[in-house]
Amino acid sequence: MALQSKTYSSSTTSNEYTLKLTITENSTSTANNTSNITYKLYMTSGGWNFDQYAVGWEIKLNNKVVSTMDRYDAPQISLGYNSSVIIVQGTTNVKHNSDGTLNMSISGKSFMAKDSYTPGDMSLSGSMRLTGITPPAPDKSSILGTLSNFDLESEFRFPFTSYSSDYYHKLILKVGSTTVKTVNSYLNNQSIRFTPEEILNAYQLMSSSTGTTVSVTLETYNDNDALVSPVSTKSCVATWIGTSQINVSGTYRRARPWVNINGTWKPCVAFYNIDGSYWRGE
């Protein structure tokens, strides 16, 4: 849609006065998601006139007052036969919706003493669909697609789209409000593993024997080391299969070891002593 200009009118009074408001789109700003608007409120006459009357006004655009003055403080104006006079004019910026569209509501009023040859108070209203603005591309990187569930004790990765090669990223995994793993300078599709300590911490937070929901947040930092908002967050399920093997009917299966500490059973990570060195069980 091209930039536009429209004029809105009140009902004409019995003594042939009409209030009019012209709205003109001057430009749009993609960066600010705004339209620059000029407004002009004026009055036209027919076979009547008045001389040196104070006329106040109020103009609202998108339900926001952009200009107003009480008639007791307003300057005096005169209007001849079959003529027009400007009451007020100005320029303002109007914010669009987040998708770049805006059907802007419009309201104009004039305030004036009523005599046999003056119109008294007048008003008009309407709406104007402003020229659409294409929202700018996000300046943050985003996690790609739907995340696959992963095993806490195996290798996993989260691909993302990078907004700029000059930016760097931090990956944060949380169970509830508790952070269970942070990867600084995370690279796209980088392989990740939990440490034994991180696995145990995650185990303590799990409310289900099969797994728990993990929120995955990708923070983007620009070349000035400033966090770019909003961050990209998605969720998936982290499962726990076990760090040791048990023979079930001739077939070895992954199992979770538990240890009794002061009468309470807690999940643990299995380690084995092989030739004097401890190795995590798999």
Residue 140 has pLDDT above 80, yes or no: no
pLDDT, residue 282, reads 47
Rounded CA-CA distance 188/165 in Å is 11
| Three-state secondary-structure class, residue 204 | helix
Quick one: DSSP state of residue 136? P
Tokens of 51: 């001389």
Beta strands in 112-226 (DSSP E): 122-129, 142-143, 150-151, 160-161, 168-175, 178-183, 211-221
Angle at 261 between CA 209 and CA 155, to 5 degrees: 45
| Weakest-pLDDT range from 64-73, 80-89, 225-234 | 225-234
The H or E element spanning position 189 is: none
Rounded CA-CA distance 216/147 in Å is 9
**pLDDT tens per residue, range 231-245:** 888 888 887 665 555
**pLDDT tens per residue, range 186-209:** 888 899 888 878 877 887 787 666
Query: Taking a C-beta distance cutoff of 8 angstroms, is the pair 87, 110 a contact?
Result: yes
Quick one: DSSP state of residue 241? -
**Mean per-residue pLDDT, 42-63:** 96
> What is the pTM assigned to this prediction?
0.54
Taking all residues of the chain, what is their mean pLDDT, rounded to a whole number? Answer: 85
Rounded CA-CA distance 225/167 in Å is 8
| Three-state secondary-structure class, residue 120 | coil
Rounded CA-CA distance 132/103 in Å is 10
Tokens of 17: 């006065």
Query: Taking a C-beta distance cutoff of 8 angstroms, is the pair 21, 59 a contact?
Result: yes
pLDDT, residue 127, reads 97
pLDDT, residue 125, reads 97
Quick one: DSSP state of residue 46? S
**Mean per-residue pLDDT, 223-231:** 77
